[in-house]
Structure 1
Amino acid sequence: MCRVGAARTLRAVSRLPARAWPAYLPLRRVLVVSRPALWVNTVGTLVTGVWLSGELYTLHPGVLALLVYLTLPFNLLIYGLNDLFDREEDARSSRKGGWQGARLASYEAAPLLRATAWLNVPALLLLTLALPPAATAVLAVSAALFVAYSLPPLRLKARPFLDGLSNVAYALPLALPALVLGKGMPWAPLLALMAYSVGKHAFDAAQDIPADRLAGTRTVATTLGAGGTALYALAWFCLAAALLWPVSRLTALALLLTCGGMSLALRRRPTPEQAARLYPLSIVTPWIVGAVAGVQLVYLLARGLWP
């Protein structure tokens, strides 16, 4: 199955217009494609999972290996493949070509796939040997969902509602420390992060409605329109806050104020332009909500009050 998927991917890339392709991409370019500003979504989630497991820090080799993998390699898998197969939409998007996402040239396709494979395949194989089977399975599901989001034939990005639901992959690293360390699963925070991820995907997609429609790509946002997408995202954010309420009311309130507030702002002025203006707030919501949750967790752990 892996060989068939790889062959389809290579055939898709081979159809892209090309000139003389370099053998590799410079490290600076690889870093740009991996969107370091968004690494908090993977690294921060794993660290929060460590805290939720009752540990302030851990030197467990499996957790440390995951911490390294969830930086450049995993984010290149997420965003490199996304940018590669979104080239038509990205060419029409004014926000691409900088920290919000790369605008790839056709000659970068093969080197990018090569870099993604070299950074991910050996790492995943080594992690399979180092991690418990359950943790390996969760990591594999997360990686598979991100690949399926971008790559044909599934290309979940172009399947309305499945596009956002597949983004629960962002939440799965929260479960890894518990599985590696043999601790209890933090079900409420995990489910809350899943709901938040679905809502955030929909909200972020609203600004891309014009480019996606021009490219013929159907997403949850092109289906619902900007106003409908605002309400859809708000519903998921409210669900996330409800799941967090018994665990941390302060974190739930922070989520409602930031994510709920930006959803209501988009509902009041339901245009892609308004969504674009609100996007910087969307980018920092993981930092805001994560900081509120993290400060509480560290305080409780340091005082020996977290179960």
Structure 2
Amino acid sequence: MTYLWLALAFIAAAVVAGLAFARLGARHGETAKHWKAVGIAFAALAVLTAVFDSVMIGMELFHYDPSHILGLKVGLAPLEDFAYPLAGVVALPGLWMWLTRRRGAGAKSNLKGLVPQAVLASRPVSWINTAYPFAAAMLLTTREIDWVLIVGTFYFLIPYNLAMYGINDVFDYESDLKNPRKGGIEGALLQPHLHRPMLWLAVITNVPFLLVLAFAGGPTTWLAVGVSAFAVAAYSVAGLRFKERPVLDSLTSSTHFVSPAVVGLALAGADVTPGLLILLAAFFLWGMAAHAFGAVQDIEPDRQAGIGSIATVIGARRTVRLAVVLWLVAGLAMLATPWPGPLAAIIAVPYIANCAPYWNVTDTTAARTNVAWRRFIWLNYGSGFLVTLIFILQWSLTS
């Protein structure tokens, strides 16, 4: 099969899905605006694809067999490369319109159908935060794409997030009712009649992948996979509820994002070096800071629901300051990693700048930090872009 036919298959599926979702989800008069936005988004993605594909191909990070492509290029990027951003930008906005439209059409607290709520619960905007560490860890270690990389990346992209956030939304339902930020990209309000199906869906979609990844590796992988899965469940399920144990809540949340990278390193058979340990420690501190800062905005609804967290115990002001210090230490730690790792120290700066204005926030004004938390969600994409550039540099230096 040539790349052209593979690309056309993706585009065809995306067009069908995009048209269907947009038709079902668009409100009156929104269709034209939707497709205009899709066109603008694709134009931006096309420029980025042309630039960065050309850079990576020019650095000989990968190449295409001439017999499998048309030969038409933009810069050094084959025309076929533009199929994937096109497929994504056509299908995904329509899917989001459909999901959010169903919520806005009188079904805000009574959505029927497990799949739409499951997708919302899984926080699609944050999928990349767990898939990226796994894929990067494996790819930079093995320097090849194999079935384990593909399966693992898909698992940590969707099923893993479905379990992590879906289980949380089930057991947090009572407190989420009092939380005004729930019901959108920051979490779904899963209706009680869907709680049990959601838990079963999490099990069914996760266990097969966990078994495959475990069998693909050795004892180290078994341990990494086990810790990762345990952290996902222990954070939310009744009887454990690590999210209600101050400090342990931040430790467990950080494990959610660092463990995919550890699983990838274990599967790849990476050598454990001081530099690697420092990098993982910095990543872990970043995760703790992120969780602690995110907990500040929920102080009031958590206290009303009787839920303890690092923020409800030490207070908004101290939690914000702790987050700033953790991000600072994480950035400084990167300075001790092998080149080009020290370049990543700069990534801590925007997080500190986003958090620092709330240095003197009080418990009564803690909800205001939600503005910074929403910025934090999008900061992760910018950070991922910078990390990717550093990874490309690392790849070229060790090739």
Interval containing the TM-score (normalised by the shorter chain):
0.7 to 0.9
What is the identity, as a one-letter code, of the residue corresponding to 2:352? G
Q: Is the Cα–Cα contact under 8 Å of residues 89 and 212 in structure 1 kept in the other structure?
A: yes
Measured against aligned partners, the alpha-carbon deviations of 1:206-235 in whole angstroms (never above 9, x if no partner) come to 000110000011100111221111111112
Residue from 202, 205, 223 that aligns with 2:292: 202
3-state SS in 2 of match to 1:59: coil
Q: Which has the higher contact order (CA 8 A, sep 6+)?
A: 1
Work out which of the two has the higher radius of gyration on C-alpha atoms and give 1 or 2: 2
TM-score (norm 1): 0.85
Distance 2:390 2:197 in 1: 43
Q: Using the alignment, how far apart are the partners of 2:162 and 2:243 within structure 1?
A: 17
Q: Does 1:70 align with 2:156?
A: yes
Q: Work out the percentage of aligned pairs sharing the same amino acid.
A: 28
Match of 2:197 among 111, 126, 132: 111
Q: Indicate conservation of the 8 Å contact 2:250/2:288, yes or no.
A: yes
Q: Distance in 2 between matches of 1:61 and 1:31?
A: 25
Q: 1:50 aligns with which of 124, 138, 143?
A: 138
Q: 1:104-183 maps to which residues of 2 (within 5 A)?
A: 104-169=190-255, 170-183=257-270
- Give the CA deviation at 1:54: 6.4
TM-score (norm 2): 0.67
Q: Cα offset for 1:114? A: 1.4
Alignment of 1:258-297 (within 5 A): 258-270=350-362, 271-297=365-391
Deviations 1:251-277 (A, max 9, x none): 21221x222112211114443232111
Distance of 2:262 and 2:242 partners within structure 1: 23
Shift of residue 82, structure 1, vs aligned partner: 0.5
Q: Structure 2 unaligned segments of length 5 or more: list them.
A: 1-109
Instruction: Determine helix, strand or coil for the equivalent of 2:359.
Output: helix
In structure 2, distance between residues paired with 1:130 and 1:50: 13
Superposed CA deviations along residues 155-179 of structure 1, whole A, max 9, x for unmatched, are 0111111111112311121123322
SS in 2 for 1:233: helix
State the aligned residue count. 281
Pairing 1:218-233 to 2, within 5 Å after superposition? 218-233=308-323
Letter aligned with residue 128 of structure 1: A
Tell me, in whole angstroms, the C-alpha distance in 2 between the residues paired with 1:275 and 1:79.
21
- Aligned AA (1:222): T
1:116 to partner: Cα distance: 0.9
> CA separation in 1, counterparts of 2:308 and 2:324?
21
**Given that residues 62 and 131 in structure 1 are in contact (C-alpha distance below 8 angstroms), is that contact kept between their aligned partners in structure 2?**
no
Matched with 1:236 is 326
Match of 1:252 among 322, 345, 348: 345
Taking the aligned partners of 2:354 and 2:315, their CA distance within structure 1 comes to 16
1:306 alignment counterpart: 398
Q: Distance in 1 between matches of 2:266 and 2:316?
A: 39
Note if contact 1:50-1:177 (Cα within 8 Å) is conserved in structure 2.
yes
Alpha-carbon distance in structure 2 between the residues aligned to 1:107 and 1:137: 35
Deviations 1:11-48 (A, max 9, x none): xxxxxxxxxx99x9443322111111111221111122
Task: For 1:234, give the aligned amino acid.
Answer: V
Where 1:70 maps in the other structure, the secondary structure is helix
| Distance in 2, Cα, partners of 1:81 & 1:159 | 17
Q: Structure 1: which 5+ residue stretches go unaligned?
A: 1-20
Q: Tell me how far 1:306 sits from its aligned partner.
A: 3.4
Q: Pick the aligned partner of 1:28 from 116, 126, 133.
A: 116
Q: Distance in 2 between the 1:31 and 1:222 partners? A: 29
Give distance in 1, aligned partners of 2:179 and 2:229.
26
- CA–CA distance in structure 2, aligned partners of residues 158 and 127 of structure 1: 30
What is the aligned counterpart of 1:189 among 275, 279, 283?
279
> How big is the alpha-carbon RMSD for the aligned residues of Structure 1 and Structure 2?
2.0
Shift of residue 62, structure 1, vs aligned partner: 2.0
Q: What CA deviation, in whole Å up to 9, does each residue of 1:180-208 have, x standing for no partner? A: 22222422221111111111100001000
State the distance in 1 between where 2:150 and 2:187 align. Answer: 28
Task: Check the 8 A contact 1:230/1:266 in 2, yes or no.
Answer: yes
Which secondary structure does the structure 1 equivalent of 2:169 belong to?
helix
Conserved 8 A contact 2:216-2:267? no
- In structure 1, how many angstroms separate the alpha carbons of the residues matched to 2:145 and 2:113? 33
